Structure 1
Amino acid sequence: MKRLILLSALCLCLPVAAQTISTSALDSIQQSFVKDDATRAIQNILTNDKNIKTKALNHSVAPMDHFFKYKTSVKGITDQLSSGRCWMFTSMNQLRPLAMQRYNVSSFDFSHNYSYFWDMLEKANLFLEDVIVTADRSFDDRAVVTYFKNPVSDGGVWNLFWNIGEKYGVVPAEIMPETEHSNNTSQMLSVLNERLRAGGYAIREQFAAGKKLDALHESKIEILKDVYRILALCLGEPPTEFIWRYIDAAGNVKTLKSTPAEFYKSVIPENYNPDTYVMIMNDPTRPYYQVYEIENYRNSIEGINWYYLNLPNDVIKVAALKSIKANEPMYASCDVGKQSNTTTGKLDMNTYDYESLFGVDMSMDKKARILTRQSGSSHAMLIVSCDTDDNDVPVKWEFENSWGAASGNKGYLSFTDKWFDEYLFRIVINRKFLDSNSVEALTGPKVKLPCWDYMF
C-alpha cells in the first residue's frame, strides 16, 4: 500500500518537474552557437539555398561502380509513376521473365491496373468488416483509430499481391491498360476514403441503434457498390475472360483466349505460395529466429497476413546470395530515401554528411532508428545482383526499381553491403535457400503484433 501511494505521488510530481527554457539555460544555448568564419560561411549558404541535401553531399565517398559478379535475368524497367504500388510492380517484375519465357515474347508486362482494381475493392471490404467487428468499441480505441485514419491505401507488400493473384488472377497489360487514376492515385484514394469513412461511421451508428449483424452486412454491400462504381469510373471494369493477341520472338502472330485465373497459373513458378516463398525481416528490436504476424496486414478477409521470420542480416545475406546465384531475384523492401543518391543510382552509408555540415551528432543504430520512427520500410524493389570480393563475401548489391529508366542507373540502384545492414528490412525468398536453423524456426508459433505496430 505504501509503495502504491509513493508511485502515485511520483506521478503527480512529474509535471512539476518539467522544465521551461529558463533565462540561464537560454543564455547557455545561445552562447554555444559560435559565429566563427566557418559557421558564418555555412549560415550564408544555407539561409540562401533551401536544398540542404546537395550541401551535405559527401564528395569524398569511396567510388562505386555498377558492375556485379552475379546477376539474375532482368527484363527491362517499369514505372509505377505517381502511385504507391511498388509492392505490386516488384511482385510482377519477379514474374515477368517467366511470362516472357512461357509465351516466347521479347517484351511483356502485366496489367497493374487490373490487380489494383481488385486490391482496392478487397481493402474496402476489409475496412468495413473491421468497422463491424470493432463497432462496440469507442472511437478512441487504438484499433478503431488506426482503421479510420487510413481506410484504404495503394501501399502493400508481397502477400497482398499473392492474395489478389490467387483470387482474381492476372492479365497482360494490353487487356486492361493503365488509366490516369491508376498512374496518379491520390485523388481517387481521397474520394474512396471519404466514402468509406462516411459508410463506416453510418455502420457504427446502426450498431449503436441496435441493428443486427445481417443489417450491418447489408449496409456494407451497399457501400461496396459505391466503391465499385468509383473504381470502375476511374480505372475501368476488369474482364472475366480475354483474348490476347501478341507477336512471339520468332515474329509469329499468336492468339490466346484465357481467363485471368488461367493466365496467372501459367506464369507463376512451381509452388508459388507463402509456404515456399518465405517472408523474412531484419528487425533488431525483436528476438531473431521468431515468426511474427501483423494483425490485419492483408487486403482481403480470406487472404494471409504479412507474417515473417526475423533473422540476423548475416544469415539473410547468405541465403540472398544463394538465390541470386540460382537466378532467382527476390522481392525486397527498404528505406530507400536514406543515404540515397538517385541521380547516380548509388546508396552508401556515407552519401550525405549532415553531421559535418551542421556540426552535430546524429548517430543512431538501426534499432534506435526503428524505435524512434526515424527509419522504416518505405519502398519495394527486386534484389537482382550481388558483387563479392575475392573470398566471395558480398560488397554491394543491386535493386531493380520501378521508377522508370530515367531514375538511378538506367532504372537500377546499387547499394553497399553496409547500407544493406542498416536500411534493408524485408525480403521474400524461396525457403530452399535458407539454412537449417532458419527453416526449423519457421515451424515455431507466431507472435501476433497489432495493426499499429511501429514497423508497419
Structure 2
Amino acid sequence: MTDIRHAVTDDLLADVRSAALDPTARLARNAVTVSGVDPSSFDREAVVAATTCVSDKIDDWKATWQKKSGRCWLFSSLNLLRSRARTKMGLTDFEFSQNYVLFWDKFERANWFLSDVIATADEPLDGRLLQFLLADVLGDGGQWDMAVSLYLAHGLVPKDAMPETESSSNTDPMNRRLQVLLRRTAVELRDLIASGADDARVRAAKEEALAAVWRILSICLGEPPTQVEWQWRDDEGAFHRDGVLTPREFYARYVDIDLTDYVCLVDDPRAEHPKGTMMTVDHLGNVVGGRPIRYLNVDIDLIKRLAADALRAGEPVWFGADCSQQSDRDRGLFVEGLHDYSGLFGVDLSTTKEQRVVTGESAMNHAMLFTGVDLGDDGAPRRWRVENSWGEEPGDKGFFTMDDAWFTEYVFEVVVRVDALPEELRAVLGDEPVHLPAWDPMGTLA
C-alpha cells in the first residue's frame, strides 16, 4: 500500500497558528489556562434547568458509598434489594454487606478465570483473546447477571455481619496482589497442559491457587460468615429477633423478589445489531454454572417507558451508563449539553452514540439506581432521579439528577421485569443469542 502519510511542514504550522489567533480563541485560552476545561465549558442554563424535584420519587433512604472501589454494580443491585428488605424490617437505613458479596465475587471470579485459562489452553498466549483475558484479571466491575449469580449462590448478610475493611473500601492494593498470583498461575497451568499433565494434576494446581486466593481475601476482607444471629430494633424502637440464619436463609427471608424474573435491556446503537434480538458476550461472567450474561437489544424509547412504569409502580430500576460524559460529580448532574466543549474550543466535537461506541469513546462504565422520574403533562419523561453510591456529599445528598436527553445518549442498560415486556419481545427471550467477542463494548463492566 502506498504510504500516504504527510509530515508536519512549516506551511502547515503557519496555517494552524493563524487559525487559532481569533479573539474567541484568545478569550477561551485565558479562561481554560486559569480554570480548566470543564469549569470553563459549563452551560449555566443547563445547570439551572436541572432541578432535583421530580413528579414520582420513591427514595426515603440515605445514599451509600463505595469509596475507592469499583463495586458500583454490587452497591446499586444491593440498593435495589434493600429497598424491599428495609420495608419488611421497618429499618430505613438498612444495608446488606457489600464486603460479603465482594469476597465471593473475587473468589468465584478467580475460579472463573482459571477455568477459562484451562479451556483456552490451545489459544496462543500472545493472541488477542488471551491478552484480553489477562489484561484485567479480577477487577472490581461487573454486570447485573453476575450480581444475581452471586446472590443466588451465596445469599446475603446484613452489613454488621461482615463490615467494610480498608481493603474493601480501597481495593487496588489487594487486586494487584491477586492479579500477580492469577497471572502466574495462568502460565503454570498452560505449561502443565502443554507438557501432557492429566486433568487431575491440572485441577490440583488450580485448587492450590484458589486456596491462596482465599487466604489473601480472608486477610484483606475477613472470613465470610456461614451464619448470622439476626436481631434488631426497628425505627419505632420495637425489638425483633430472627435467630440464627445462614446467608441463603437470610436472602430468602428478606429478598422477596425473584431475581430470575428480570431481564437486561440494552441499547446497542450499532447498525449491524438489530433491535429485538438477544445477545451475549463470550467469556463474560463470574460464577461457573451461574446465570449466563444475556441482553435484549431494544429501542431506547421502550427502555425509558418501562423504567418509568416501574418507578411509578414503586420499584427502583438498576441501570448502567457512561457517567464520564457531560456530567458533574459535585453538583450531581448528568445533563446533555452541560459542557459546551464545541463552543469553548470553536471546534465541532459532536458525535453520535454509535460513533462513540464503535471508536471506544463510550461504553457502560458505572451502574446506579433510578429512584424517581419527572413526567411532563404529556406523560413523557423529562428528567430522572438517580441513587449513586458515591456517598452523601455530591448532588442532593448523594442523589443525582439526569435529564432525558442524557438518558438517550449515555444510558446503555436497564433491568426490568420480564412480564413488563411487550408480548413480541417476551417471545424472543429464549432465542439463541448473538455471540459477541470478549472485547466487545457491550461486555464492558460497570
Q: Secondary structure at the match of 1:336?
A: coil
Q: How far does residue 74 in structure 1 lie from its aligned partner after superposition? A: 4.2
Q: Secondary structure at the match of 1:429?
A: strand
Q: Aligned to 1:114, which of 100, 104, 112?
A: 100
Which residue of structure 2 aligns with residue 278 of structure 1?
263
> Structure 1 residues 147-156 or 226-235, which shifts more?
147-156
Which residue of structure 2 aligns with residue 184 of structure 1?
170
> Structure 1 residues 94-103 or 24-33, which shifts more?
24-33
Once the two structures are superposed, what CA deviation does each residue of 1:368-401 show, in whole Å capped at 9, x if it has no partner?
Answer: 1111111111111111111111111111111111
Q: Is the 8 A contact 2:25 2:346 kept in 1?
A: no
What's the C-alpha RMSD, in Å, of the aligned pairs?
1.6
Once the two structures are superposed, what CA deviation does each residue of 1:164-214 show, in whole Å capped at 9, x if it has no partner?
Answer: 111111000000111000011010001100111111111112222221222
- Distance between the aligned counterparts of 2:50 and 2:154, measured in 1? 43
Q: Is the 8 A contact 2:282 2:436 kept in 1?
A: yes
Q: How far does residue 300 in structure 1 lie from its aligned partner after superposition? A: 1.2
> Structure 1 residues 80-89 or 299-308, which shifts more?
299-308
Q: How far does residue 334 in structure 1 lie from its aligned partner after superposition? A: 0.6
- Distance between the aligned counterparts of 2:315 and 2:285, measured in 1? 25
Alpha carbons of structure 1 residues 74 and 441: separation in structure 2 relative to 1, 3 Å = farther
- Distance between the aligned counterparts of 1:92 and 1:270, measured in 2? 13
Q: Is the 8 A contact 2:59 2:372 kept in 1?
A: no
> Structure 1 residues 236-245 or 62-71, which shifts more?
62-71
- Distance between the aligned counterparts of 1:413 and 1:249, measured in 2? 26
Aligned 1:289-438 pairs, distance under 5 A: 289-438=276-425
- Distance between the aligned counterparts of 2:32 and 2:401, measured in 1? 30
Alpha carbons of structure 1 residues 73 and 343: separation in structure 2 relative to 1, 3 Å = closer
Q: Secondary structure at the match of 1:441?
A: coil
Q: Is the 8 A contact 1:75 1:96 kept in 2?
A: no
Aligned 1:112-191 pairs, distance under 5 A: 112-191=98-177
Q: Share of identical aligned residues, percent?
A: 34
- Distance between the aligned counterparts of 1:436 and 1:22, measured in 2? 62
Q: Is the 8 A contact 1:323 1:329 kept in 2?
A: yes
Task: Tell me which amino acid in the other structure corresponds to 1:64.
Answer: A
Which residue of structure 1 aligns with residue 91 of structure 2?
105
Q: Is the 8 A contact 2:57 2:372 kept in 1?
A: yes
Q: Is the 8 A contact 2:121 2:190 kept in 1?
A: yes
Q: How far does residue 303 in structure 1 lie from its aligned partner after superposition? A: 1.3
Which residue of structure 2 aligns with residue 32 of structure 1?
19
Aligned residues: 439
Q: How far does residue 21 in structure 1 lie from its aligned partner after superposition? A: 2.8
Structure 2, unaligned stretches of length 5 or more? none
Higher-Rg member (1/2): 1
Which residue of structure 2 aligns with residue 9 of structure 1?
none
Alpha carbons of structure 1 residues 250 and 48: separation in structure 2 relative to 1, 3 Å = closer
> Structure 1 residues 244-253 or 378-387, which shifts more?
244-253
Task: Tell me which amino acid in the other structure corresponds to 1:59.
Answer: R
Q: Tell me the TM-score normalized by structure 2.
A: 0.95
Q: How far does residue 59 in structure 1 lie from its aligned partner after superposition? A: 1.7
- Distance between the aligned counterparts of 1:271 and 1:154, measured in 2? 25
Alpha carbons of structure 1 residues 39 and 234: separation in structure 2 relative to 1, 3 Å = same
Alpha carbons of structure 1 residues 114 and 159: separation in structure 2 relative to 1, 3 Å = same
Q: Is the 8 A contact 1:105 1:248 kept in 2?
A: yes
Q: Tell me the TM-score normalized by structure 1.
A: 0.93
Q: How far does residue 99 in structure 1 lie from its aligned partner after superposition? A: 1.2
- Distance between the aligned counterparts of 2:312 and 2:441, measured in 1? 34
Once the two structures are superposed, what CA deviation does each residue of 1:247-293 show, in whole Å capped at 9, x if it has no partner?
Answer: 123323333310000011112234321xx101110111121111101
- Distance between the aligned counterparts of 2:291 and 2:191, measured in 1? 30
